[in-house]
A and B are shown apart, each in its own frame.
Chain A
Protein backbone atom coordinates (compact mmCIF):
# COMPACT_ATOMS: atom_id res chain seq x y z
CA UNK A 1 0.00 0.00 0.00
CA UNK A 2 1.27 3.42 -0.91
CA UNK A 3 0.90 5.41 2.31
CA UNK A 4 2.40 8.57 0.92
CA UNK A 5 -0.32 8.73 -1.73
CA UNK A 6 -3.05 7.83 0.75
CA UNK A 7 -1.86 10.54 3.10
CA UNK A 8 -1.69 13.00 0.21
CA UNK A 9 -5.32 12.27 -0.72
CA UNK A 10 -6.37 12.56 2.94
CA UNK A 11 -4.71 15.96 3.25
CA UNK A 12 -6.39 17.19 0.07
CA UNK A 13 -9.80 16.06 1.31
CA UNK A 14 -9.15 17.85 4.62
CA UNK A 15 -8.08 21.04 2.91
CA UNK A 16 -11.31 21.12 0.98
CA UNK A 17 -13.17 21.15 4.31
CA UNK A 18 -10.78 23.24 6.31
CA UNK A 19 -13.34 24.88 8.59
CA UNK A 20 -14.94 21.67 9.81
CA UNK A 21 -11.51 20.09 10.15
CA UNK A 22 -10.36 22.91 12.37
CA UNK A 23 -13.51 22.67 14.49
CA UNK A 24 -12.98 18.94 14.95
CA UNK A 25 -9.32 19.41 15.82
CA UNK A 26 -10.15 22.18 18.28
CA UNK A 27 -12.51 19.73 20.00
CA UNK A 28 -9.61 17.34 20.50
CA UNK A 29 -7.30 20.18 21.53
CA UNK A 30 -9.78 21.32 24.14
CA UNK A 31 -10.25 17.80 25.52
CA UNK A 32 -6.53 17.10 25.77
CA UNK A 33 -5.66 20.53 27.16
CA UNK A 34 -8.28 20.18 29.87
CA UNK A 35 -7.13 16.68 30.62
CA UNK A 36 -3.48 17.71 30.96
CA UNK A 37 -4.31 20.75 33.06
CA UNK A 38 -6.63 18.85 35.33
CA UNK A 39 -4.38 15.85 35.83
CA UNK A 40 -1.29 18.02 36.40
CA UNK A 41 -3.14 20.16 38.91
CA UNK A 42 -4.78 17.28 40.74
CA UNK A 43 -1.53 15.40 40.94
CA UNK A 44 0.28 18.54 42.07
CA UNK A 45 -2.32 18.81 44.80
CA UNK A 46 -1.87 15.14 45.69
CA UNK A 47 1.88 15.56 45.84
CA UNK A 48 1.51 18.60 48.05
CA UNK A 49 -0.76 16.81 50.48
CA UNK A 50 1.27 13.61 50.26
CA UNK A 51 4.37 15.67 50.95
CA UNK A 52 2.64 17.27 53.88
CA UNK A 53 2.13 13.84 55.38
CA UNK A 54 5.24 12.18 54.04
CA UNK A 55 7.43 14.95 55.34
CA UNK A 56 6.02 14.63 58.77
CA UNK A 57 5.35 10.94 59.03
CA UNK A 58 8.03 8.31 59.24
CA UNK A 59 7.68 5.42 56.80
CA UNK A 60 8.06 3.05 59.71
CA UNK A 61 7.86 4.01 63.36
CA UNK A 62 9.17 1.73 66.12
CA UNK A 63 7.84 2.24 69.64
CA UNK A 64 6.64 0.52 72.77
CA UNK A 65 2.92 0.39 73.17
CA UNK A 66 1.33 0.29 76.60
CA UNK A 67 -0.60 -2.98 76.54
CA UNK A 68 -1.20 -6.11 78.59
CA UNK A 69 1.27 -8.99 78.27
CA UNK A 70 0.19 -11.46 75.68
CA UNK A 71 1.41 -14.29 77.90
CA UNK A 72 -0.53 -14.25 81.15
CA UNK A 73 0.92 -16.37 84.02
CA UNK A 74 -1.84 -18.94 83.84
CA UNK A 75 -0.86 -20.00 80.35
CA UNK A 76 2.52 -21.04 81.72
CA UNK A 77 0.87 -23.47 84.11
CA UNK A 78 0.98 -27.13 83.00
CA UNK A 79 -2.14 -27.88 84.93
CA UNK A 80 -4.50 -25.54 83.03
CA UNK A 81 -2.83 -25.93 79.70
CA UNK A 82 -5.76 -27.67 78.02
CA UNK A 83 -8.41 -25.45 79.57
CA UNK A 84 -9.96 -22.33 78.18
CA UNK A 85 -9.05 -19.67 80.69
CA UNK A 86 -11.07 -16.53 81.26
CA UNK A 87 -9.13 -13.78 83.01
CA UNK A 88 -10.82 -10.57 84.00
CA UNK A 89 -9.47 -7.19 85.07
CA UNK A 90 -6.14 -7.47 83.30
CA UNK A 91 -4.04 -4.32 83.61
CA UNK A 92 -1.42 -3.31 81.12
CA UNK A 93 2.08 -3.98 82.22
CA UNK A 94 4.26 -0.96 82.65
CA UNK A 95 7.34 -1.68 80.66
CA UNK A 96 7.79 2.05 80.21
CA UNK A 97 7.76 3.77 76.85
CA UNK A 98 11.50 3.66 76.60
CA UNK A 99 12.96 1.55 73.83
CA UNK A 100 15.40 -0.83 75.41
CA UNK A 101 18.74 -1.06 73.71
CA UNK A 102 17.88 1.85 71.40
CA UNK A 103 21.50 2.58 70.38
CA UNK A 104 22.02 -0.94 69.03
CA UNK A 105 18.72 -0.89 67.16
CA UNK A 106 19.53 2.48 65.57
CA UNK A 107 22.95 1.26 64.53
CA UNK A 108 21.41 -1.86 63.11
CA UNK A 109 18.78 0.07 61.14
CA UNK A 110 21.31 2.54 59.78
CA UNK A 111 23.30 -0.37 58.40
CA UNK A 112 20.23 -1.69 56.55
CA UNK A 113 20.51 -0.96 52.81
CA UNK A 114 16.77 -0.34 52.41
CA UNK A 115 16.81 2.48 54.94
CA UNK A 116 17.64 6.07 54.03
CA UNK A 117 18.11 7.26 57.58
CA UNK A 118 16.91 6.87 61.13
CA UNK A 119 15.85 9.55 63.58
CA UNK A 120 15.40 8.80 67.28
CA UNK A 121 12.79 10.79 69.12
CA UNK A 122 11.27 11.28 72.55
CA UNK A 123 7.60 12.10 72.74
CA UNK A 124 6.30 13.01 76.16
CA UNK A 125 3.13 14.64 77.40
CA UNK A 126 3.92 17.79 79.41
CA UNK A 127 2.24 20.81 80.91
CA UNK A 128 3.22 24.26 79.77
CA UNK A 129 2.88 26.73 82.61
CA UNK A 130 2.19 30.38 82.14
CA UNK A 131 1.31 32.29 85.26
CA UNK A 132 -1.46 30.37 86.92
CA UNK A 133 -2.66 28.47 83.86
CA UNK A 134 -1.44 25.09 82.72
CA UNK A 135 -1.83 23.94 79.14
CA UNK A 136 -1.30 20.30 78.33
CA UNK A 137 0.81 19.52 75.33
CA UNK A 138 3.55 17.40 73.96
CA UNK A 139 7.26 17.88 73.89
CA UNK A 140 9.25 16.25 71.11
CA UNK A 141 12.86 15.63 71.83
CA UNK A 142 14.53 15.31 68.46
CA UNK A 143 17.94 14.65 67.05
CA UNK A 144 18.08 18.04 65.28
CA UNK A 145 20.30 17.04 62.34
CA UNK A 146 18.50 13.75 61.63
CA UNK A 147 15.04 15.26 62.04
CA UNK A 148 15.89 18.08 59.67
CA UNK A 149 17.35 15.64 57.17
CA UNK A 150 14.32 13.32 57.19
CA UNK A 151 11.38 15.59 57.81
CA UNK A 152 12.55 19.07 56.77
CA UNK A 153 11.50 20.40 60.13
CA UNK A 154 12.84 23.84 59.20
CA UNK A 155 10.02 24.18 56.59
CA UNK A 156 7.68 24.65 59.50
CA UNK A 157 9.77 26.94 61.64
CA UNK A 158 8.24 30.35 61.03
CA UNK A 159 10.43 32.22 63.50
CA UNK A 160 13.90 31.37 64.65
CA UNK A 161 16.23 28.66 63.40
CA UNK A 162 16.16 24.93 63.93
CA UNK A 163 19.87 24.90 64.72
CA UNK A 164 19.24 27.06 67.77
CA UNK A 165 17.85 23.92 69.40
CA UNK A 166 21.41 22.75 69.81
CA UNK A 167 21.83 25.25 72.63
CA UNK A 168 21.14 23.79 76.03
CA UNK A 169 17.64 24.25 77.43
CA UNK A 170 16.12 25.75 74.34
CA UNK A 171 12.69 25.00 72.88
CA UNK A 172 10.62 25.77 69.79
CA UNK A 173 6.89 25.95 70.46
CA UNK A 174 3.84 25.70 68.20
CA UNK A 175 2.25 28.91 66.94
CA UNK A 176 -1.07 28.13 68.59
CA UNK A 177 0.64 27.61 71.88
CA UNK A 178 2.64 30.81 71.55
CA UNK A 179 -0.50 32.81 70.68
CA UNK A 180 -2.43 31.42 73.61
CA UNK A 181 0.31 32.03 76.11
CA UNK A 182 1.42 35.34 74.55
CA UNK A 183 4.98 34.17 74.21
CA UNK A 184 7.59 35.28 71.70
CA UNK A 185 11.09 34.00 71.01
CA UNK A 186 13.45 34.98 73.80
CA UNK A 187 10.85 34.35 76.51
CA UNK A 188 11.24 31.60 79.08
CA UNK A 189 8.61 28.89 79.33
CA UNK A 190 8.10 26.62 82.33
CA UNK A 191 7.41 22.97 81.69
CA UNK A 192 6.21 20.21 84.01
CA UNK A 193 6.70 16.62 82.95
CA UNK A 194 4.17 13.88 83.72
CA UNK A 195 6.44 12.68 86.50
CA UNK A 196 6.48 16.13 88.05
CA UNK A 197 9.92 17.30 86.94
CA UNK A 198 10.10 21.02 86.35
CA UNK A 199 12.24 22.90 83.85
CA UNK A 200 12.53 26.38 82.44
CA UNK A 201 13.36 26.49 78.74
CA UNK A 202 14.18 29.40 76.51
CA UNK A 203 12.00 29.83 73.44
CA UNK A 204 14.21 30.09 70.35
CA UNK A 205 11.56 29.70 67.66
CA UNK A 206 7.94 29.24 66.64
CA UNK A 207 6.73 26.34 64.50
CA UNK A 208 3.63 26.11 62.33
CA UNK A 209 2.69 22.97 60.44
CA UNK A 210 -0.75 24.19 59.50
CA UNK A 211 -2.80 21.78 61.52
CA UNK A 212 -4.31 23.53 64.56
CA UNK A 213 -4.35 20.34 66.58
CA UNK A 214 -0.59 20.08 66.24
CA UNK A 215 0.26 23.78 66.47
CA UNK A 216 -1.75 24.16 69.70
CA UNK A 217 0.08 21.38 71.48
CA UNK A 218 3.46 20.61 70.06
CA UNK A 219 6.90 21.81 70.96
CA UNK A 220 10.37 20.72 69.91
CA UNK A 221 13.54 20.46 71.85
CA UNK A 222 16.77 18.53 71.53
CA UNK A 223 17.06 14.90 72.62
CA UNK A 224 19.40 15.92 75.41
CA UNK A 225 17.13 18.54 76.85
CA UNK A 226 14.18 16.16 76.72
CA UNK A 227 16.16 13.42 78.44
CA UNK A 228 17.17 15.82 81.18
CA UNK A 229 13.59 16.98 81.58
CA UNK A 230 12.47 13.37 81.99
CA UNK A 231 15.32 12.67 84.33
CA UNK A 232 16.44 9.86 82.11
CA UNK A 233 19.81 8.69 80.82
CA UNK A 234 21.21 9.59 77.40
CA UNK A 235 19.99 6.23 76.06
CA UNK A 236 16.37 7.15 76.64
CA UNK A 237 14.37 7.18 73.39
CA UNK A 238 10.63 6.49 72.94
CA UNK A 239 10.38 6.38 69.15
CA UNK A 240 12.65 5.35 66.34
CA UNK A 241 11.58 6.86 63.03
CA UNK A 242 12.72 5.21 59.83
CA UNK A 243 12.64 6.57 56.30
CA UNK A 244 12.88 4.06 53.46
CA UNK A 245 14.06 4.25 49.88
CA UNK A 246 10.89 2.55 48.67
CA UNK A 247 7.82 3.58 50.57
CA UNK A 248 5.76 0.70 49.17
CA UNK A 249 7.86 -1.74 51.17
CA UNK A 250 6.93 -0.01 54.44
CA UNK A 251 4.21 -2.49 55.56
CA UNK A 252 6.47 -5.48 54.94
CA UNK A 253 9.45 -3.90 56.67
CA UNK A 254 7.30 -2.80 59.60
CA UNK A 255 6.41 -6.44 60.14
CA UNK A 256 10.02 -7.52 59.78
CA UNK A 257 11.30 -4.94 62.29
CA UNK A 258 8.53 -5.88 64.70
CA UNK A 259 9.79 -9.44 65.04
CA UNK A 260 13.45 -8.58 64.68
CA UNK A 261 13.56 -5.96 67.44
CA UNK A 262 10.56 -7.13 69.47
CA UNK A 263 8.95 -3.69 69.30
CA UNK A 264 5.64 -2.30 68.10
CA UNK A 265 5.80 -0.88 64.60
CA UNK A 266 3.45 1.06 62.40
CA UNK A 267 3.88 1.81 58.71
CA UNK A 268 3.07 4.90 56.66
CA UNK A 269 0.22 3.26 54.78
CA UNK A 270 -1.61 2.26 57.95
CA UNK A 271 -1.18 5.71 59.46
CA UNK A 272 -2.48 7.46 56.35
CA UNK A 273 -5.00 5.06 54.88
CA UNK A 274 -7.85 7.56 54.70
CA UNK A 275 -5.47 9.95 53.02
CA UNK A 276 -4.71 7.57 50.15
CA UNK A 277 -8.42 7.34 49.39
CA UNK A 278 -8.56 11.11 48.82
CA UNK A 279 -5.64 10.98 46.39
CA UNK A 280 -7.16 8.10 44.46
CA UNK A 281 -10.50 9.87 44.12
CA UNK A 282 -8.84 13.04 42.85
CA UNK A 283 -6.99 11.03 40.21
CA UNK A 284 -10.14 9.21 39.14
CA UNK A 285 -12.04 12.48 38.77
CA UNK A 286 -9.38 14.07 36.59
CA UNK A 287 -9.13 11.01 34.33
CA UNK A 288 -12.91 10.73 34.09
CA UNK A 289 -13.32 14.38 33.06
CA UNK A 290 -10.53 14.04 30.49
CA UNK A 291 -12.05 10.91 28.98
CA UNK A 292 -15.52 12.44 28.81
CA UNK A 293 -14.16 15.51 26.99
CA UNK A 294 -12.33 13.28 24.54
CA UNK A 295 -15.40 11.17 23.87
CA UNK A 296 -17.28 14.35 23.02
CA UNK A 297 -14.44 15.34 20.69
CA UNK A 298 -14.60 11.83 19.22
CA UNK A 299 -18.25 12.29 18.33
CA UNK A 300 -17.34 15.55 16.62
CA UNK A 301 -14.79 13.76 14.47
CA UNK A 302 -17.26 10.98 13.75
CA UNK A 303 -19.83 13.51 12.52
CA UNK A 304 -17.41 15.38 10.32
CA UNK A 305 -16.09 12.23 8.69
CA UNK A 306 -19.60 10.97 8.06
CA UNK A 307 -20.49 14.26 6.46
CA UNK A 308 -17.34 14.21 4.40
CA UNK A 309 -18.02 10.70 3.16
CA UNK A 310 -21.53 11.68 2.20
CA UNK A 311 -20.23 14.65 0.24
CA UNK A 312 -17.36 12.76 -1.33
CA UNK A 313 -19.29 9.74 -2.56
CA UNK A 314 -18.36 10.61 -6.16
CA UNK A 315 -14.70 10.88 -5.30
CA UNK A 316 -14.77 7.58 -3.45
CA UNK A 317 -16.49 5.95 -6.42
CA UNK A 318 -13.94 7.24 -8.90
CA UNK A 319 -11.02 6.29 -6.66
CA UNK A 320 -12.39 2.78 -6.55
CA UNK A 321 -13.08 2.72 -10.29
CA UNK A 322 -9.50 3.77 -11.03
CA UNK A 323 -7.91 1.13 -8.88
CA UNK A 324 -8.06 2.03 -5.20
CA UNK A 325 -9.24 -0.93 -3.15
CA UNK A 326 -11.74 -0.80 -0.29
CA UNK A 327 -8.87 -0.98 2.18
CA UNK A 328 -7.09 1.97 0.49
CA UNK A 329 -10.25 4.02 0.89
CA UNK A 330 -10.56 2.88 4.50
CA UNK A 331 -7.01 4.03 5.21
CA UNK A 332 -7.64 7.37 3.56
CA UNK A 333 -10.40 8.08 6.05
CA UNK A 334 -8.53 6.64 9.02
CA UNK A 335 -5.60 8.90 8.10
CA UNK A 336 -8.00 11.83 7.93
CA UNK A 337 -9.14 11.07 11.43
CA UNK A 338 -5.62 10.54 12.73
CA UNK A 339 -4.41 13.80 11.20
CA UNK A 340 -7.18 15.58 13.09
CA UNK A 341 -6.30 13.62 16.23
CA UNK A 342 -2.56 14.22 16.06
CA UNK A 343 -2.74 17.94 15.28
CA UNK A 344 -5.54 18.46 17.79
CA UNK A 345 -3.67 16.36 20.34
CA UNK A 346 -0.31 18.08 19.94
CA UNK A 347 -1.93 21.49 20.28
CA UNK A 348 -3.81 20.08 23.26
CA UNK A 349 -0.55 19.08 24.95
CA UNK A 350 0.88 22.51 24.20
CA UNK A 351 -2.13 24.37 25.63
CA UNK A 352 -2.32 21.94 28.53
CA UNK A 353 1.27 22.86 29.36
CA UNK A 354 0.50 26.58 29.03
CA UNK A 355 -2.57 26.34 31.27
CA UNK A 356 -0.62 24.32 33.83
CA UNK A 357 2.11 26.94 33.85
CA UNK A 358 -0.48 29.68 34.36
CA UNK A 359 -1.98 27.83 37.32
CA UNK A 360 1.51 27.17 38.60
CA UNK A 361 2.15 30.92 38.66
CA UNK A 362 -1.09 31.85 40.43
CA UNK A 363 -0.50 32.85 44.04
CA UNK A 364 -1.87 30.40 46.56
CA UNK A 365 -1.34 31.62 50.10
CA UNK A 366 -2.79 29.68 52.95
CA UNK A 367 -1.94 29.84 56.61
CA UNK A 368 -1.88 26.08 56.82
CA UNK A 369 0.83 25.75 54.18
CA UNK A 370 3.46 28.37 54.95
CA UNK A 371 6.02 27.09 52.43
CA UNK A 372 3.58 27.02 49.48
CA UNK A 373 3.33 30.24 47.51
CA UNK A 374 1.59 29.17 44.26
CA UNK A 375 -0.82 26.43 43.21
CA UNK A 376 0.96 23.11 42.88
CA UNK A 377 1.40 21.48 39.47
CA UNK A 378 2.95 18.14 38.67
CA UNK A 379 4.63 18.23 35.23
CA UNK A 380 5.04 14.48 34.93
CA UNK A 381 5.69 13.65 31.24
CA UNK A 382 3.64 10.48 31.60
CA UNK A 383 0.47 12.63 31.62
CA UNK A 384 1.44 13.98 28.21
CA UNK A 385 2.06 10.46 26.93
CA UNK A 386 -1.32 9.34 28.25
CA UNK A 387 -2.95 12.46 26.78
CA UNK A 388 -1.66 11.94 23.25
CA UNK A 389 -2.44 8.21 23.44
CA UNK A 390 -6.02 9.05 24.45
CA UNK A 391 -6.28 11.49 21.56
CA UNK A 392 -5.04 8.92 19.05
CA UNK A 393 -7.22 6.19 20.45
CA UNK A 394 -10.46 8.19 20.43
CA UNK A 395 -9.85 9.64 16.97
CA UNK A 396 -8.91 6.23 15.58
CA UNK A 397 -12.08 4.70 16.99
CA UNK A 398 -14.19 7.67 15.87
CA UNK A 399 -12.69 7.42 12.39
CA UNK A 400 -12.93 3.67 12.10
CA UNK A 401 -16.69 3.39 11.58
CA UNK A 402 -16.97 6.10 8.92
CA UNK A 403 -13.86 4.65 7.26
CA UNK A 404 -15.37 1.18 7.12
CA UNK A 405 -18.51 2.70 5.68
CA UNK A 406 -16.48 4.48 3.01
CA UNK A 407 -14.60 1.31 2.14
CA UNK A 408 -17.91 -0.41 1.44
CA UNK A 409 -19.24 2.26 -0.92
CA UNK A 410 -20.31 0.50 -4.11
CA UNK A 411 -18.99 2.58 -7.03
CA UNK A 412 -21.53 1.05 -9.41
CA UNK A 413 -24.38 2.39 -7.34
CA UNK A 414 -22.91 5.89 -7.34
CA UNK A 415 -21.99 5.95 -11.02
CA UNK A 416 -25.34 4.50 -12.05
CA UNK A 417 -27.10 7.17 -10.02
CA UNK A 418 -25.81 9.99 -12.25
Chain B
Protein backbone atom coordinates (compact mmCIF):
# COMPACT_ATOMS: atom_id res chain seq x y z
CA UNK B 1 0.00 0.00 0.00
CA UNK B 2 1.08 3.53 -0.72
CA UNK B 3 0.28 6.33 1.63
CA UNK B 4 1.23 9.87 0.72
CA UNK B 5 1.06 12.38 3.51
CA UNK B 6 1.12 16.10 2.88
CA UNK B 7 4.01 16.30 0.43
CA UNK B 8 5.13 19.65 -0.81
CA UNK B 9 7.60 20.49 -3.51
CA UNK B 10 8.63 23.77 -5.01
CA UNK B 11 11.05 24.85 -7.71
CA UNK B 12 12.25 28.40 -7.06
CA UNK B 13 9.06 30.47 -7.25
CA UNK B 14 6.84 27.66 -8.48
CA UNK B 15 4.97 25.62 -5.88
CA UNK B 16 4.13 22.47 -7.78
CA UNK B 17 2.92 20.16 -5.02
CA UNK B 18 1.20 22.05 -2.23
CA UNK B 19 0.34 19.39 0.32
CA UNK B 20 -0.61 16.25 -1.52
CA UNK B 21 -2.19 13.44 0.51
CA UNK B 22 -3.83 10.23 -0.68
CA UNK B 23 -3.74 6.48 -0.35
CA UNK B 24 -3.48 3.75 -2.90
CA UNK B 25 -5.19 0.55 -1.89
CA UNK B 26 -3.08 -2.60 -2.01
CA UNK B 27 -3.88 -4.61 -5.14
CA UNK B 28 -5.90 -1.92 -6.89
CA UNK B 29 -5.60 -0.15 -10.21
CA UNK B 30 -5.46 3.52 -9.29
CA UNK B 31 -5.19 6.32 -11.82
CA UNK B 32 -3.96 9.83 -11.28
CA UNK B 33 -5.48 12.43 -13.57
CA UNK B 34 -4.90 16.14 -13.86
CA UNK B 35 -4.00 18.83 -16.33
CA UNK B 36 -0.78 18.90 -18.23
CA UNK B 37 1.82 20.48 -15.98
CA UNK B 38 -0.17 19.74 -12.82
CA UNK B 39 2.73 17.76 -11.41
CA UNK B 40 1.69 14.18 -12.07
CA UNK B 41 5.04 12.97 -13.37
CA UNK B 42 6.76 14.84 -10.57
CA UNK B 43 4.53 13.13 -8.01
CA UNK B 44 5.38 9.78 -9.58
CA UNK B 45 9.10 10.54 -9.31
CA UNK B 46 8.57 11.14 -5.60
CA UNK B 47 6.83 7.79 -5.18
CA UNK B 48 9.82 6.04 -6.77
CA UNK B 49 12.26 7.96 -4.62
CA UNK B 50 13.87 9.83 -7.52
CA UNK B 51 12.91 13.20 -6.06
CA UNK B 52 12.69 14.22 -2.43
CA UNK B 53 9.79 16.35 -1.19
CA UNK B 54 10.49 19.54 0.72
CA UNK B 55 8.12 18.30 3.42
CA UNK B 56 5.90 15.26 3.79
CA UNK B 57 5.94 11.50 4.06
CA UNK B 58 5.64 8.73 1.52
CA UNK B 59 4.90 5.38 3.09
CA UNK B 60 5.25 2.24 1.05
CA UNK B 61 4.00 -0.73 3.03
CA UNK B 62 4.39 1.34 6.15
CA UNK B 63 7.98 2.46 5.51
CA UNK B 64 8.72 6.11 4.87
CA UNK B 65 10.91 6.31 1.78
CA UNK B 66 11.66 10.01 2.24
CA UNK B 67 15.27 10.40 3.28
CA UNK B 68 16.13 6.75 2.72
CA UNK B 69 19.59 5.88 1.47
CA UNK B 70 19.96 4.46 -2.03
CA UNK B 71 20.63 1.00 -0.63
CA UNK B 72 17.49 1.06 1.48
CA UNK B 73 15.47 2.40 -1.44
CA UNK B 74 16.79 -0.30 -3.71
CA UNK B 75 15.44 -3.04 -1.45
CA UNK B 76 12.00 -1.54 -1.95
CA UNK B 77 12.48 -0.70 -5.62
CA UNK B 78 13.23 -4.33 -6.39
CA UNK B 79 9.48 -4.89 -6.32
CA UNK B 80 8.77 -1.94 -8.61
CA UNK B 81 8.15 -1.67 -12.28
CA UNK B 82 8.30 1.80 -13.79
CA UNK B 83 7.19 3.03 -17.19
CA UNK B 84 8.52 6.54 -17.78
CA UNK B 85 6.52 9.08 -19.74
CA UNK B 86 9.17 9.22 -22.47
CA UNK B 87 10.16 5.59 -22.16
CA UNK B 88 13.67 6.30 -20.84
CA UNK B 89 15.00 3.34 -22.80
CA UNK B 90 18.73 2.68 -22.84
CA UNK B 91 19.66 3.94 -26.27
CA UNK B 92 22.92 2.02 -26.38
CA UNK B 93 21.07 -1.28 -25.99
CA UNK B 94 18.80 -3.21 -28.32
CA UNK B 95 15.13 -3.64 -27.49
CA UNK B 96 15.90 -7.15 -26.28
CA UNK B 97 18.69 -5.99 -23.97
CA UNK B 98 16.50 -3.23 -22.60
CA UNK B 99 13.88 -5.74 -21.53
CA UNK B 100 16.55 -8.15 -20.31
CA UNK B 101 18.23 -5.52 -18.13
CA UNK B 102 16.16 -5.98 -14.95
CA UNK B 103 16.25 -9.76 -15.41
CA UNK B 104 20.03 -9.79 -15.68
CA UNK B 105 20.36 -7.52 -12.68
CA UNK B 106 17.98 -9.21 -10.29
CA UNK B 107 17.57 -12.85 -11.21
CA UNK B 108 19.90 -15.81 -11.51
CA UNK B 109 18.30 -17.00 -14.73
CA UNK B 110 20.52 -18.39 -17.47
CA UNK B 111 21.00 -16.53 -20.74
CA UNK B 112 18.47 -18.78 -22.43
CA UNK B 113 15.88 -18.43 -19.73
CA UNK B 114 16.26 -14.66 -19.92
CA UNK B 115 15.90 -14.75 -23.69
CA UNK B 116 12.72 -16.78 -23.29
CA UNK B 117 11.28 -14.31 -20.82
CA UNK B 118 12.20 -11.39 -23.03
CA UNK B 119 10.47 -12.98 -26.01
CA UNK B 120 7.42 -13.60 -23.91
CA UNK B 121 7.26 -9.96 -22.76
CA UNK B 122 7.88 -8.61 -26.25
CA UNK B 123 5.11 -10.80 -27.59
CA UNK B 124 2.81 -9.38 -24.93
CA UNK B 125 3.35 -5.87 -26.32
CA UNK B 126 3.37 -6.98 -29.95
CA UNK B 127 7.05 -6.32 -30.67
CA UNK B 128 8.42 -9.81 -30.99
CA UNK B 129 9.88 -9.16 -34.43
CA UNK B 130 11.61 -5.93 -33.35
CA UNK B 131 13.85 -7.30 -30.60
CA UNK B 132 17.06 -6.55 -32.47
CA UNK B 133 16.32 -2.90 -33.12
CA UNK B 134 17.66 0.03 -31.16
CA UNK B 135 15.40 2.64 -29.51
CA UNK B 136 16.34 5.27 -32.10
CA UNK B 137 14.97 2.95 -34.79
CA UNK B 138 11.51 2.73 -33.21
CA UNK B 139 8.40 4.87 -33.42
CA UNK B 140 7.21 6.73 -30.33
CA UNK B 141 4.45 4.24 -29.63
CA UNK B 142 6.82 1.30 -30.08
CA UNK B 143 9.23 2.83 -27.59
CA UNK B 144 6.41 3.18 -25.11
CA UNK B 145 5.60 -0.49 -25.52
CA UNK B 146 9.22 -1.53 -25.02
CA UNK B 147 9.17 0.53 -21.82
CA UNK B 148 6.07 -1.34 -20.79
CA UNK B 149 7.68 -4.71 -21.48
CA UNK B 150 10.73 -3.66 -19.45
CA UNK B 151 8.57 -2.43 -16.57
CA UNK B 152 6.74 -5.75 -16.40
CA UNK B 153 9.77 -7.97 -16.99
CA UNK B 154 10.35 -8.97 -13.38
CA UNK B 155 6.69 -9.51 -12.59
CA UNK B 156 6.69 -6.59 -10.13
CA UNK B 157 3.96 -6.20 -7.54
CA UNK B 158 3.87 -2.42 -7.68
CA UNK B 159 3.96 -0.80 -11.10
CA UNK B 160 3.94 2.88 -12.00
CA UNK B 161 2.81 3.74 -15.52
CA UNK B 162 3.27 7.32 -16.68
CA UNK B 163 0.84 7.68 -19.58
CA UNK B 164 0.96 4.11 -20.85
CA UNK B 165 -1.31 4.78 -23.82
CA UNK B 166 -0.44 8.28 -24.99
CA UNK B 167 0.67 8.37 -28.59
CA UNK B 168 -0.75 4.96 -29.44
CA UNK B 169 -3.31 4.12 -32.13
CA UNK B 170 -6.75 3.07 -30.82
CA UNK B 171 -6.19 -0.62 -31.41
CA UNK B 172 -2.83 -0.74 -29.68
CA UNK B 173 -4.29 1.36 -26.90
CA UNK B 174 -7.03 -1.20 -26.46
CA UNK B 175 -4.42 -3.95 -26.43
CA UNK B 176 -2.38 -2.15 -23.77
CA UNK B 177 -5.44 -1.73 -21.55
CA UNK B 178 -6.19 -5.40 -21.97
CA UNK B 179 -2.57 -6.20 -21.11
CA UNK B 180 -2.82 -4.06 -17.98
CA UNK B 181 -6.03 -5.74 -16.93
CA UNK B 182 -4.76 -9.23 -17.69
CA UNK B 183 -1.46 -8.86 -15.86
CA UNK B 184 -3.10 -7.26 -12.87
CA UNK B 185 -4.03 -9.56 -10.03
CA UNK B 186 -6.71 -8.11 -7.81
CA UNK B 187 -5.63 -7.71 -4.23
CA UNK B 188 -2.01 -8.64 -4.95
CA UNK B 189 -0.51 -6.41 -7.62
CA UNK B 190 -0.91 -2.66 -7.41
CA UNK B 191 -0.95 -0.59 -10.58
CA UNK B 192 -0.61 3.17 -10.35
CA UNK B 193 -1.29 4.98 -13.61
CA UNK B 194 -1.03 8.52 -14.83
CA UNK B 195 -3.23 9.15 -17.83
CA UNK B 196 -5.13 11.72 -19.85
CA UNK B 197 -7.33 9.13 -21.49
CA UNK B 198 -10.44 9.62 -19.35
CA UNK B 199 -12.65 7.06 -21.10
CA UNK B 200 -9.98 4.40 -21.01
CA UNK B 201 -9.01 4.80 -17.37
CA UNK B 202 -12.59 5.09 -16.19
CA UNK B 203 -13.12 1.63 -17.66
CA UNK B 204 -10.19 -0.13 -16.01
CA UNK B 205 -9.53 1.75 -12.77
CA UNK B 206 -10.72 0.82 -9.32
CA UNK B 207 -9.93 4.29 -8.05
CA UNK B 208 -9.27 7.64 -9.64
CA UNK B 209 -7.41 10.56 -8.07
CA UNK B 210 -7.37 14.09 -9.43
CA UNK B 211 -4.47 16.46 -8.88
CA UNK B 212 -5.28 20.11 -9.39
CA UNK B 213 -3.30 23.20 -8.44
CA UNK B 214 -0.95 21.21 -6.27
CA UNK B 215 -3.58 19.34 -4.28
CA UNK B 216 -5.74 16.25 -4.56
CA UNK B 217 -9.21 17.59 -5.16
CA UNK B 218 -11.07 14.32 -5.64
CA UNK B 219 -10.58 10.64 -5.04
CA UNK B 220 -13.01 7.79 -5.55
CA UNK B 221 -14.32 5.10 -7.87
CA UNK B 222 -14.95 6.04 -11.51
CA UNK B 223 -18.67 6.13 -10.61
CA UNK B 224 -17.97 8.62 -7.80
CA UNK B 225 -16.17 10.77 -10.32
CA UNK B 226 -18.99 10.79 -12.83
CA UNK B 227 -21.38 11.97 -10.15
CA UNK B 228 -18.93 14.34 -8.47
CA UNK B 229 -20.66 17.73 -8.18
CA UNK B 230 -17.40 19.74 -8.23
CA UNK B 231 -17.51 21.87 -11.40
CA UNK B 232 -13.73 21.58 -11.73
CA UNK B 233 -13.96 17.80 -11.90
CA UNK B 234 -16.89 17.92 -14.28
CA UNK B 235 -15.17 20.36 -16.60
CA UNK B 236 -12.09 18.14 -16.67
CA UNK B 237 -14.07 14.98 -17.38
CA UNK B 238 -16.00 16.66 -20.18
CA UNK B 239 -12.94 18.35 -21.60
CA UNK B 240 -14.77 21.63 -21.88
CA UNK B 241 -12.81 24.82 -22.45
CA UNK B 242 -15.48 26.73 -20.51
CA UNK B 243 -15.75 26.47 -16.75
CA UNK B 244 -13.86 27.21 -13.55
CA UNK B 245 -10.52 25.96 -14.95
CA UNK B 246 -8.97 28.75 -16.96
CA UNK B 247 -6.72 27.99 -19.90
CA UNK B 248 -3.48 29.75 -19.27
Whether chains A and B associate is no
